[in-house]
Structure 1
Amino acid sequence: MASTSSAPARYEYEVFLSLDTRHSFTDHLYEALHQAGIRTFRDEDEIRDGQELKPEIERSIIESRASVIVFSENFAVSTWCLDELWLILEQKRKGDHFVLPVFYGVDPSDVRNQRGSFTVESRIGSKWTEDNVNRWKAALREVANLKGMVVSGSETAFIAEIVHKVYHELDLKLLCSPPNLTGIEIRARDINSWLRYEQPGFPVLAICGMGGSGKTTLVKHIYNTNKQHFESSSFLEEIEDKPGVLLGLQKQLLRDVLGTNIVISNVSEGTLQIERAIERKRVLIVVDDIDDSDILSTLFGAKVLDTQSKIIITTRLLNIDTWFESISWRCRVYKLELLNPDESLELLSWHAFGSKIPMEGFEKIAAELAQYCGGNPLALKVLGSSLFVSVENPWTKSNMIEIWRSRMDSLNSLKGDLDAKIQGVLQRSFESLACHSHKELFLHIASFFVGEYAFDVEKILENDYHAKSGIMTLVNRCLVTVSRDFGKLMMHNLLQDLARNIVREESKDPAKRSRVWQCDESYCLLSKGDGSKTIEGLVLDMPKAKQAMTSETFKTSSLVKMKNLKLLQLRDVKLTGSYENFPNLRLLKWHGCNLKTIPPGLLMSSLVALDMRNGDLEKFEPPMVLHSLKVLRLSWSYKLVSIYNLHRLPKLEALDLGSCISLTHVCKTIKDLENLSFLRLSGCTRLWKASSNQKCVNQLKRLKTLCICSGTPKQPLCSLPESLSTLILSSSSFEILPNHIDLRMLQTLYLSWCPNLKSLSCLPITLKGLHVDWCTSLENITFQSARFTLQEFCYEGCFKLFEIEGLFKLVSIAEVDEADLEHMQWIKLYQNHKVDLVGDVITKGRTFNIQMLYEYGIRSTYLQSIEDQSMAQHEYTSSSNFLSLCVPLRPKKNRIQGLSVTILCGSLSSDEDGRIMLPPFAKISNRAKGITWVYNPVVFCLPRVDRDVVWLSYWPIGNLLDVGDIVHVTVFLDERMFIVRECGASLVYMDDGEVEKDEKCAERMKGEEVIGGDLSLFQVTKGAYYLCRRDFYKSETP
């Protein structure tokens, strides 16, 4: 299916909303119209203070296709509202202006007959003439005789009826989207910015997420609210790769884009026509729910397009961008975040109670249900609707609470009581896995490995299920995620329930299933010595087994019948007996193990991973050579003193000894573990004190990851293996990193929670990730190269960090060198003024004296006011967000140094309305040189209703400006909330004798990636640069 619309260009708005007061009903009505994509005028949002209102109101009525008039008790008390009413009806008489009266708390007959507060006779004799009053009376009678709507019942449902009525009457052909779009604005914010600000070079956006995550709802909202900014638009859905279907979609797309039927005889011809159409016009195209790159190729071809059009796709494939990259299209991937706890509770409440918050008495159980849904909008809507509680029947409240509790107990019982609609949506993701081994891998992870290290799972399951490539496939299908911090496998609990339902369908008898994870079932099997060769994996967590006694002991013979058992996970389970007939396991995970040593009879020949954390082991020594063992985890073994004969583990790749506080001896054969790539020694303070142990670690030539955080001394390291790619030193007490550490292959460095760390100098150029969160003494960071290479950089809570080489620097105006201020010396007068800077965690929640921001060679600052406006006068000014200038002839002894830009910004609405703000952008283009810079500052200041903000910036582009060049300056603000009151620009000149001063300024802004330097990393198309280092879709919310 496809949808399209092209609103008449002469209309600025679809609806003019006329009302007398700002109460919750009208606020909700306005938001519902706005969220539905209906452009709505409401004077408090659209008119600046100080303007003549009446001409603006009249213009807005004329430029609207319809008016919705909300009559409330005091409507006729306002002569302003009465004049609005007359103007609206005058417009109705002139043409096809649709008028919808809505009666809120008033009787239409009182309006018609002018009774009560609608009596206007008393106005005669005041400054209003009899003609005015007669005109109002006639208008009230006329509008009351129109077919209107009287507010009754649920306001939410009634508002939805109003929106539907407007849809129908105006024939808008907008996409139907559900009411109560909780959390939609913050998720649409950055996408709206990408659509409206015309950031060059990225024609495609892929919205990715698991089934039911709200991708379609989000993209419909975005389509409705943005299509009017394009010449034409098309929304394609229900896409299938079947004969005739793709050809039909191509025809529909061309009809939407070109406005006429195009005759095409085959798919190849259709692809060519679409390529031409997208290049000729600026169009918005949405392709919903597509998981096949071949279909994309059919629709859009493989030609590199030079286009201002925008294409949005929704998909469950995280790696869909690789197809676009293969044809040299630039594609942004937006991973749709699930709802947070507050948003989840709100959405559930709308569907369960018809209000924003739970009904009294349901608060706790509603929060539990919202938590179970894990932020999945589909689950919240379905479960909420199925448990709807009517406000009009309060006598059912106690019964409904019992029903809610029963439903919650069912969901928590692990019996797989997943709603059929939710399961159907999620099942499609599972069935899309083409490889049987990937399906089995998904079921294994859901049953046993959620929260486990991906590294371990890859080793354990590689031989049976090609786990390394399989996990990648599951991640790309949004079925599994890998946590960025510790590399653990994570899965949404609804997907986990889906997988477990699939396993339960194998048999009603747990003993005949392939996987047993429910502890009560596992307890029964071990207690009875039951089981079968069908079982491949079993979990028993004694604290979770309801029937279990903490002192209970099982015999090792309880596992004899499980001949094919490969995965055994135990916690606080006590076993006695002989281990000679113990299953030949791939994984033995036995937390809280009661053994003091490894029993010699334990069959370990096939063991790939041994995890005996938090147990009673006092000595670890492999009883034999174990050629299969690759992972050994003994962390939190407080009684462990010594480890012997590690040479018997020739294939060992990961050794975890974290927090083994009594460990004093590890045999020197550790240095002979040629395959060891991961070593954790954090908290092993006794072990690390011996320099001989440090030397053994240094001899591990293939070691990639080393963790020695928590308790390391101030000078912790003698030397480390050059092979290291990840070094974890968090929670350590040193003040600086030793200079002699030369790690040429280091890519990730963790230094979080190091309170004494003051400086980081000359970090290696290979570094891709740096974590220094809550290093409260850290002041500056420098690198071996001036080029900033970090791809992941976390520095929350670094209250003293104001300089990051190659990234940005913040300096108080009081401390800025006068040479850097150039012609803006007057700013020093404001050096003690305060500003609230937002946009980055480094300034979040803090107030500063006015700061100078150095970034990309650009210098900028923010002021909350300028008392003497003459100080900020410019050669070129504009009362809009755009100005143009032509570079003039200059005196012979002067040369152009750069461009100074000043922006005066104001607010259109209060901060209390809760809407999400888009960050500011500045765009400077030199058409003659074919160069464009789009700059998004890392921190910025926002205006308020009672306070404008001045944004001053200096761009050192003098060497790129010649006489006669036409320069365009454009500033983008969130047009819903802010307005550019004035824009000014001046060319800054410098005498030839001041070259030395200019060079000193450049030295203070050192770095390769500055204007005039190498900006290739930020180039999006030829000559166009997007100056923003952070991932825009993860920027801090103002």
Structure 2
Amino acid sequence: MASTSSLAIIPTANYDIFLSFRGEDTRHNFTDHLYETLTNAGIRTFRDNEDISRGDDLKPEIESAIKGSKGSIIVLSKNYATSTWCLDELWLILEQRSKFDHFVLPIFYDVDPSDVRNQDQTFKIEVKTSSKWTDDNVKRWREALTKVADLKGGILSGSEVDFLKKIVDDIYYKVARKIVNLPRNLIGMNARDEEINSWLEKTDIQVLAICGMGGSGKTTLADYIVSSNLQHFEITSVVKLGASGTCHKQDNMFELFEKFSEDLLRGRKGKVMRRYMIYRVLEMKKTLIVFDDIDDPSQLDLFLGTTKINERSKIIITTRKTNTHNWFSFRSWSCQEYTMPLLDNDESLKLLSLHAFELETPMRGYEELAKEVLEYCGGNPLALEVMGSSLKEVINIEFWRSTLDVLKGNMSFGIQCVLKRSYDSLPNKNNKELFLHIACFFVGEDKDYVEKILEHDYYALSGIKVLTNRCLLSVSPNNKVMMHQLIQEMGRSIVLQESNIPAKRSRVWLSSDSYKIMRKGEGSETMEGLVLDMQLLWNDRHESESSNLRTDSLTKMDNLKLLRLNEAHLIGSYRDVSQDLRWLCWRGFHLTTIPFGLFQGNLVAIDMRHSNLEVFEPPIVLQSLKTLNLQGSQSLSEIRNIYRLPSLETLILCHCYELVHFCESIGDLKNLSLLNMIGCKSLPRVVVSNRSLEASTSSGGNSQQTSFSLPHSLIWLSLRSCNLECTEYFPLSFKVQPKLQYLDLGGGWFESLPEYNHLENLRVLDLTSCRKLKWILCLPSALAELYVYFCYSLERITFESHQFTLQEFGYQGCIKLSEIEGFIKLVPIAKLDATDLGHMEWLKEYQNHVVSLVGDEELITIGRSKRIQMLYELGIMSTSLPDIRDPNITLEYISESQSLSFEVPPCPENKRLIGLNVGFRYTISGKEWTWFAKINTTNDVDYMYNPHLFGDPGAGNVGIWLSFWPIGSKLSIKDKVNVSIIVMSGVLEVQECGASLVYVDDDETLENNTQWDLSAFQLTTGAFYLCRRDLFMLMEVGRLTPGWLSILVGDNIDDTEVRGWRKTGRPYLLDPSLMEFSDPSLTELSYPSRRELQPSCRRVFQGLLSTKLSELSFTKSKQD
């Protein structure tokens, strides 16, 4: 392909926006306002200042700013075209647009776009005697003016404030949607996307499969397609399936699905009905989805299921396999294959030069050497990139020549040798050894975990940074160590070249080689790492081979540092095991106790998941041990002398079902921050006094007793499914664990919990499936996430303060939950006294009538009473009734439409105005309705309320909704009050609506008349959006139109003011790779991800006013 069709360097974006403008026209007015608005919105904006002296040519800082910006805004004012400086800026900006992904937004400030297009009025430019106004310059400037006039832009008219807001929204959208990070140097993308564009235009082919060898640029091409076509799709998601080399691991696939769901649901992290919502989005929205590095079509099932996708949607897959057409036949999708071509000579030379010299062509004197390099790279972009990066640091012809001499005669290993050059250039032996260990044993592992194991010997903390900078590895967003397969194979080939005999190599990762070594009793002092997976050997050979091998080989490996075994049964003594052992990973360990000599004093991590251990007792002090994982050791009944692990930070005991005795010295571990005991249901009693966890557990039979204390240092604690009981004598207090951020007590058998307001750092509390739990009192105000799914007995939740910051709240299946302080209270009329109802005493006559409630799916569960109920929410009291005819329901002001207006009259003598009653009669059909009751006045009062629950009268029947709003203090005589019912989605027909003013005697004292705080729901002065449901979720699946918020609140409200209430933070978690939950019942529940807890954007749930409904009987009058 011709290099002229290539994309050259895409500059690093230092700014989001470059501002081009004529200073004398707009610097001190419009452009100042625009610049301030952009920067206040967090958009990095460059504008030249008056200190930069102007001359005939653009200054380098201006050129760099244009090239280093993602886009430009051009303010075309009357005198813009009189400045050669401005015209040169315009020409360079449009050149950037034609070559790169640089967006341009023209603003026509007090000028007509046709004048710019036709070069009329002040935009008429001519050749002048001045040196800059030459024929060539004038010609290119005219072309630039014509082009910019044809671009979609903004014409300033009306309110400047509104205009600037729309500009910022448009720019922010363009900047924010750049979801892929393309390499700095892109070559040949324009030529390669010609076939892609034809596929995008086809409506009968849903899938594009980009096939080719590793390192050929499949991923880069897919990312480029996404970046170039974001504006044509409503939703975009890129799923990197094989990036870490561990795409089949369940935990990694779960993390990828989390990201996929966040992309489709626009960042929402709620858990209830998530998969259903994803499928709805796929059906309703025009989406572009990339599945990168897929090797098995079954991988798609996790993400797409069997759902249909929107007919306008497109899916791209990258794979090293061909013949992918039949992968999608059962879905009735068509697939177009595209074989990824390698770079031609021109493209290869340019890419190599950009990385080696930071030029598009080689430096003088290096042309022939560069061409020889190209022959060995064979057009592989990854090899060219790594080679160029390695050669960049030392520009010396002899250095290049020596590299070529190494490559000569090894054509079949050309790419491997090119990649090895980057390895050879590493600054020290530690970096090289670290690279080889990662290539052989740790690709796909958590970076922090790898650093702990390898830090002492290889300075892994700094070493990983060196390897990342040399393009030898990378770290994924979920903190996994990633390495391209070509580079991993290069590293392993280095080890293979050490010796033709596996036993004499430094590292053995092939189980077939390791088995032969162990069976023959071989081994050597050179051996530093070994992997033996007997399960893998059995699977490969389809037969169970005897795994009773001797330990003789281990005694010969004096320098062994890393040992990974799976289902290996060894016979013999462990007395002479290497003292340098850092990592012991022996899954399926076959002995019932730890033999002497197996644990050496330098161990940093022990992973003995699914072992047959009955007793765990470290025979010696392991001063360096930081991680111990005994997950799934189902015979383990006792842990002894854990004080011998003084540096332990992470302890995983989940699913150790028979664990009965736990060493009490765990409380002395001052560094233990993570303790996972999920499913340890046989612990009969956990009892200690002031300094520990105080609880009891019940296993259904005779129980023995033990005790242990929990250390003060705990940050993450899970006691899920431990059969915990909590009594007056054994409260779950956690009084001396002030650092706790995550606490999981799910599956407990306690009826109540102590107050947790002392846990000031607690961010996540999970009480899922605590079926006896009746109430949760005085939770800390800083709590960010609370999960009480399927707590069938739960009735009430309270917090220490109404000013709390709860952001994620899951309460599905809580069939008795009637009050969540500061959130909602739902009480059957039958449980209310006549005094509670005031003049609504007449409702008692209908207390046994049945009303089906709709709205909040989590509150509407099987088993909840369907009798008429009173809903208390945000101080508003409401109830839903069947179509009963009772004179007490008659409202004072009536309208047969969805809205009405009236003027507040003088207050009756000896009366006081306390609020407003609002009601309406309605019918509904279909399902999924969204509506708001809205009250506004001429006194700048504006309330919009969407109740969590309301009645569904059934098809063809009439329902009644009645409510009381305690806003009397906001109403004054002669205020005009407007009441309306706004239906946003679904078929809900309002037959009539009404309102009445509510008065009480001057001397009457109202019970519970607390001032309600709605500050977190205030949008502007006097305007309150009273809704806790995330209605943007409904917009994502087509139940609400994009303009629904503007209909409700106007165009002056930023929708982030509403979205912000659902943002979720997560506490920092150490070693997330160790958090493996094999219990299928746990996989759908999200556990803390690896990041700092972000500050809350809104205080979502505020104090609830339990106002007495004192008046709701009315006399009918005609509306004015």
Give the aligned partner of residue 795 of structure 2: 779
Q: Does 1:370 align with 2:296?
A: no
User: Hey, what does 1:981 align to over in structure 2?
Assistant: 990
- Structure 1 contact 533–561 (Cα < 8 Å) conserved: no
SS at match of 2:178: coil
Query: SS in structure 2 opposite 1:849?
Result: coil
Q: Which segments of 5 or more consecutive residues in structure 1 lack a partner in the other structure? A: 1-201, 206-239, 295-310, 319-330, 352-364, 390-399, 408-417, 471-476, 482-488, 912-916, 1004-1011
Q: 1:864 to 1:367 in 2, by over 3 A?
A: farther
CA contact (8 A) 1:613 1:636 kept: yes
- Alignment partner of 1:938 out of 917, 940, 948: 948
Q: How large is the Cα RMSD of the aligned pairs?
A: 6.3
Task: Determine the C-alpha separation between the residues in 1 that align with 2:556 and 2:178.
Answer: 46
1:1015 pairs with 2:1009: no
CA distance in 2, matches of 1:680, 1:1018: 38
Q: Against the structure 1 CA distance between its residues 293 and 745, is the aligned structure 2 distance closer, same or farther, given a 3 Å change threshold? A: same
Work out whether 1:702 is the aligned partner of 2:702.
no
Shift of 1:841: 1.0
Match of 1:125 in 2: none
**Distance in 2 between residues matched to 1:730 and 1:978, nearest whole Å:** 40
Structure 2: distance between partners of 1:983 and 1:541: 75
User: Partner of 1:920 in structure 2?
Assistant: 931
The answer as to whether partners of 2:775 and 2:794 remain within 8 angstroms in 1 is: yes
How much does 1:858 deviate? 0.6
Cα distance in 2 between the residues matched to 1:531 and 1:924? 84
Counterpart in the other structure of 1:540: 533
Instruction: After TM superposition, list the pairs within 5 Å mapping 1:593-742 onto structure 2.
Output: 593-602=589-598, 604=600, 607-658=603-654, 660=656, 663=659, 665-681=661-677, 683=680, 685-686=682-683, 688=685, 691=688, 697-698=708-709, 700-708=711-719, 709-715=721-727, 716-717=730-731, 720-724=734-738, 725=740, 726-738=742-754
- d(CA) in 1 for partners of 2:648, 2:959: 61
Deviation at 1:856, TM superposition (A): 0.4
1:464 alignment counterpart: 460
Per-residue CA deviations over 1:801-860 (Å, capped at 9, x if unaligned) read 111222111112333444555565555554313213232312145671222211000112
1:961 aligns with 2:971: yes
Percent identity reads 31
Q: Which amino acid in structure 2 is aligned with residue 683 of structure 1?
A: C
Q: What is the Cα deviation at residue 630 of structure 1?
A: 1.4
> Within 2, Cα distance between the matches of 1:445 and 1:756?
51
Instruction: Measure, in 2, the Cα distance between the counterparts of 1:768 and 1:1000.
Output: 32
Change (3 A) 1:459 1:766: farther
Query: Could you tell me which residue of structure 2 aligns to residue 849 of structure 1?
Result: 867
Task: Tell me the amino acid that sits aligned with residue 728 of structure 1.
Answer: D
Determine which of 1000, 1017, 1024 is the counterpart of 1:991.
1000
Residue 718 to residue 896, structure 1, CA distance change in 2 (3 Å): closer
Q: SS of the counterpart of 1:974?
A: strand
Q: Whole-Å Cα distance in 1 between the matches of residues 758 and 998 of structure 2?
A: 45
User: Counterparts of 1:754 and 1:943 in 2: how far apart (Å)?
Assistant: 34
Give the aligned residue type for 1:833. V
Structure 2 CA distance for partners of 1:445 and 1:666, relative to 1, 3 Å = farther
Q: What are the within-5 Å matches in structure 2 for residues 893-904 of structure 1?
A: 893-904=910-921
Separation of aligned partners in 2, 1:314 and 1:817: 55
The alpha-carbon deviation at position 783 of structure 1 amounts to 3.0
Contact kept in structure 2, 1:344 and 1:370, CA below 8 Å: no
Q: Which amino acid aligns with 1:838?
A: G
Question: Which residue pairs with 2:28 in the alignment?
Answer: none
Shift of 1:784: 3.0
Letter in 2 for 1:771: Y
SS at match of 1:940: strand
Contact 1:677–1:702 (Cα < 8 Å) also in 2: yes
Structure-2 change in CA distance of 1:509 and 1:822 (3 Å): farther
- 1:543-594 Cα distance to aligned partner (Å, 9 max, x none): 6732262632455677899999976554322244665465956543322112
Q: Which amino acid aligns with 1:902?
A: G
Deviates more, 1:257-266 or 1:613-622: 257-266
Q: 3-state DSSP class of the match of 1:542? A: helix
Q: Kindly provide the amino acid, as one letter, of the partner of residue 711 in structure 1.
A: N
Per the alignment, do residues 658 and 252 of structure 1 end up closer, same or farther by CA in structure 2, a change over 3 Å counting?
A: closer
Question: 1:633·1:657 contact (CA, 8 Å) conserved in 2?
Answer: yes
CA distance in 2, matches of 1:336, 1:765: 20
Query: Where do 1:4-403 residues align within 5 Å?
Result: 243-244=96-97, 251-252=104-105, 254=107, 260=113, 277-279=163-165, 286-287=173-174, 289-291=177-179, 333-334=267-268, 340=275, 370-371=301-302
Q: Contact (CA 8 Å) 2:564, 2:585: kept in 1 or not?
A: yes
Change (3 A) 1:639 1:525: same
Q: Residue 114 of structure 1 corresponds to which residue in structure 2?
A: none
Question: In the alignment, is the contact (CA less than 8 A) between 2:630 and 2:654 conserved in 1?
Answer: yes
Q: Which region of structure 1 is more displaced relative to structure 2, 737-746 or 625-634? A: 737-746
Question: SS in structure 2 opposite 1:588?
Answer: strand
Alignment match, 1:552: 547
Write the distance in 2 (CA, Å) between the matches of 1:503 and 1:735. 54
SS of the residue 1:922 aligns to: strand
Matched residue, 1:572: 567
Of stretches 628-637 and 456-465 in structure 1, the one that deviates more from structure 2 is 456-465
AA in 1 matched with 2:1007: K
Deviation at 1:691, TM superposition (A): 4.8
- Write the distance in 1 (CA, Å) between the matches of 2:440 and 2:982: 46
The C-alpha deviation readout for 1:996-1015, integer Å capped at 9, x for no partner, is 1xx22536xxxxxxxx5322
Contact 1:679–1:703 under 8 Å retained in 2: yes
1:1000 to 1007, 1019, 1022: 1007
Matches within 5 A, 1:489-568: 503=488, 540=533, 542=535, 545-547=539-541, 549=544, 551-554=546-549
Name whichever of 519-528 and 682-691 sits farther off.
519-528
User: Residue 1024 of structure 2 corresponds to which residue in structure 1?
Assistant: 1025
Give SS of 1:279's match.
helix
Q: Which amino acid aligns with 1:612?
A: M
One-letter code aligned to 2:588: G
What's the counterpart of residue 256 of structure 2? Answer: none
The letter for the 2-side match of 1:877 is S
The 1-side partners of 2:510 and 2:304 are apart by 20
User: Residue in 2 aligned with 1:232?
Assistant: none
Aligned partners of 1:593, 1:980: CA distance in 2, in Å?
68
The normalised TM-score by structure 2 is 0.50
* Residues 500 and 992 (structure 1), Cα distance of their counterparts in 2 relative to 1, 3 Å cut: farther
Q: How far is the alpha carbon of 1:900 from its aligned partner?
A: 1.8
Q: Does the CA-based 8 Å contact 2:929-2:987 persist in structure 1? A: no
1:16-70 residue CA offsets vs partner (Å, 9 max, x unmatched)? xxxxxxxxxxxxxxxxxxxxxxxxxxxxxxxxxxxxxxxxxxxxxxxxxxxxxxx
Matched, 1:863 2:881: yes
Instruction: Count how many residue pairs are aligned between Structure 1 and Structure 2.
Output: 694
* In structure 2, distance between residues paired with 1:256 and 1:558: 82
Distance of 2:1015 and 2:464 partners within structure 1: 34
Aligned partners of 2:967 and 2:760: how far apart in 1? 36
Residues 935 and 465 of structure 1: CA distance in aligned 2, closer, same or farther (over 3 Å): farther
Distance change (3 Å), C-alpha of 1:1000 and 1:501: farther
Q: Per-residue CA shift, 1:454-511, capped at 9, x if unaligned?
A: 98678558863689999xxxxxx99656xxxxxxx8x9xxx99x96687468778996
- Alignment partners' CA distance in 2, 1:733 and 1:578: 46
Say if 2:894 and 2:900, in contact at 8 Å, map to a contact too.
yes
* Cα distance in 2 for residues equivalent to 1:449 and 1:658: 25
Amino acid in structure 2 at the alignment position of 1:953: S
**AA of the residue aligned to 2:163:** A
Q: Residue in 1 aligned with 2:81?
A: none
Alpha-carbon offset, residue 971 of structure 1? 3.3
Following superposition, the deviation at residue 373 of structure 1 comes to 6.1
Q: Report the secondary structure of 1:809's partner residue.
A: strand
Shift of 1:775: 2.0
